[in-house]
Structure 1
């Protein structure tokens, strides 16, 4: 069983789902409606069942989560899965602990303490990137990669430049993608990114860049014309062709970076993977503090002046040192499923690494 709560989870699991199906495994996907997650499942033609709605506020999250877990529990008791897996994995870990399945939780967000507090104690195996900062203990296994390399590794993804025509750009035009966050996730409370989105657009246009805006929720009315229309499955094609990406969200910044597009990440919350992409590979540039807006814009303008080969070489080194994460996900799931005695959890010493 695979559980989906966020669009990024669809991207992470879509290639493992295809691989597992091709290998003859029974794969069941369950989702909680959240943003464009269900649209992505449909676009990728992934069989799934939506078992709960979206939470429209932090106050409603507990009720939605309870409904989600109860319905997942009923499905798990009927299906009797060997492994239940998820990103974050609160529901997956809880349901697995009640059904005798093994839970495999993938996670890369250290500051999401609500999720880790509710999920980690119940999880059997927790798989994190090697750059993850926290030591979780004997449940933890690590791998040299990032979530984004489950779907953007060149073995899994080839950019399609025809997306430029879809968004009204000519191939020779320089452009920036700007990603604004909604700041309503449980781990975003009290934080923020750019001071003024209009100032971001103005500065980039002054530097000769076309601006394409993507946002969680609605951007300011004055910026509505900068939003682009394309399938949610085409965003990564756009990130690959951009000259620079400015993002308040860590995932979009990391996606750009692993594609070889310099990413400016304006957010006070750093993570192990954003730090590594900056310190080790120079493909991401993080800014926080009072001057984050101005410093981030200065960097965005300066990186566009760098030769394109700079980013290509840095990405080549990253790919030489980091793995195709889909292979790792499939191997972990198969190992846990095949070594688990029926109806029993796996002792820590017997877990696959």
Structure 2
């Protein structure tokens, strides 16, 4: 099987890296393409995943459109040369377009409802794969699985957190500390949305610094007064740091979910949470598993943070809730690998329908 995988975000590297290993172990040929990203490309390099960078980053909405067009054109040229059986991505705008032009099957993974870019992705994708509770319906091409993207790399079968890896960088996991994530709101699905204000970030740090060490990972520019809190470990250790943290808070949806599935108390602060219907993953994690606090209001978020920090039993309770979640959800990497190989088999047999795989 010949597979093309595209990467636009560091979480995409984590999602696909074990899948890549399994595919290659099975004798499949994998080609990875990326857009320039301050974390994603270094992660690809760190995990020794061969890849090609097809386009740079963007600094405006117009720049985003220009970069996307360049990216799709270059991906098309390479796909013509490779002649893939399957093309896959998270989000998958370019993959859904290019696969149709080169006779490949496209498998697109999404977990966020109500995103404008889905309108130019899902109509052309051959398979749209989402978590089970996803509210939007894409008809016969829609394949649901009982898990989250993040369980492709944070399920215990795939991830064993190490305190020793943190100690190498001067962090004592037995001491109280908190992890904050601030993102730059410049992706296609971020248009019109917002995260924490500068004042909100500063107040969040002020509250937490009274209770322990604060570490910040940020793709947005940090003001000088917050630079002292910048993450002291390399990006590939972020999940070790997140697992051992006493609390996560920030405006990154991905890291909020990562914290929840790791059993780390989490507060998500972003405008998506203000919608009449929030995204189904966050609703499920909050209402069914009680592993997340999610809000668009900064005052409410700060109150959640203060409540969780004051609760001495919170870590033990969150880990018990995580155990329940893991009993009910699947290990996602095996599912994805099986799905891609079944789709490739569909290409060879000219079967234009989603594969029937174990969910």
Same fold (TM over 0.5): yes
- Quick one: distance in 1 between partners of 2:114 and 2:240? 29
Are 2:142 and 1:135 equivalent residues in the alignment?
no
Query: 1:302, 1:100 → 2: CA distance?
Result: 57
Gaps of 5+ in 2: 273-277
1:292 aligned residue (300, 314, 317) = 300
Which residue of structure 2 lines up, in the alignment, with residue 198 of structure 1?
Answer: 202
Residue in 2 that maps onto 1:183 = 185
> Residue 282 of structure 1: CA displacement?
1.1
- What are the residue-to-residue correspondences of 1:1-353 with 2, within 5 Å? 1-113=4-116, 115-188=117-190, 189-193=192-196, 195-206=199-210, 208-269=211-272, 270-289=278-297, 291-303=299-311, 305-341=312-348, 344=350, 346-348=351-353, 351-353=355-357
Contact 1:265 1:296 in 2 (8 A): no
Following superposition, the deviation at residue 301 of structure 1 comes to: 2.1
Q: Measure how far apart 1:132 and its partner are.
A: 1.5
Q: Distance in 1 between matches of 2:159 and 2:49?
A: 17
Q: Distance in 2 between matches of 1:183 and 1:308?
A: 30
CA positional deviation for 1:162: 2.2
Aligned-pair CA distance for 1:307: 4.8
Deviations 1:23-55 (A, max 9, x none): 101111111112211101000000111111122
Q: Is the 8 A contact 1:246 1:300 kept in 2?
A: no
CA shift at 1:134, angstroms? Answer: 1.0
* Shift in CA distance, 130/116, structure 1 to aligned 2, threshold 3 Å: same
Query: For 1:296 and 1:287, how far apart are their aligned partners in 2?
Result: 9
Report the Cα offset of residue 166 of structure 1.
4.3
Summarize deviations over 1:252-275 as a string: whole Å, max 9, x none.
011111111111111231321111
Kindly state the Cα deviation for residue 139 of structure 1 after the two structures are TM-superposed: 1.2
> TM-score, normalised to structure 1's length?
0.93
- SS of the residue corresponding to residue 255 of structure 1 reads helix
What is the distance in 1 between the residues matched to 2:298 and 2:127? 39
User: How many residues in Structure 1 have an aligned counterpart in Structure 2?
Assistant: 347
- Shift of residue 290, structure 1, vs aligned partner: 6.1
Cα pair distance change 1:167/1:204, threshold 3 Å: farther
Q: Which residue of 1 aligns with 2:275?
A: none
Given that 2:194 and 2:271 are in contact with CA atoms closer than 8 Å, whether structure 1 keeps it comes out as yes
Q: How has the CA–CA distance of structure 1 residues 190 and 258 changed in structure 2, closer, same or farther, with 3 Å as cutoff?
A: closer
CA distance in 2, matches of 1:158, 1:137: 37
- Distance change in 2, residues 1:7/1:307 (3 Å): closer
Structure 1 residues 299, 137: CA separation in 2 closer, same or farther (over 3 Å shift)? farther
Runs of 4+ in 1 over 6 A off after TM superposition: none
Distance in structure 1 (CA, Å) of the matches to 2:154 and 2:298: 33
> How far apart are residue 288 of structure 1 and its match?
2.1
Q: Which moved more, 1:187-196 or 1:312-321?
A: 187-196
Shift, 1:289, TM fit = 3.3
Contact 1:163–1:238, Cα closer than 8 Å, also in 2: no
Query: Residues 166 and 199 of structure 1: is their aligned pair in 2 closer, same or farther, counting only changes over 3 Å?
Result: farther
CA RMSD of aligned residues (A): 1.7
Paired with 1:197 and 1:134, the residues of 2 have a C-alpha distance of 33
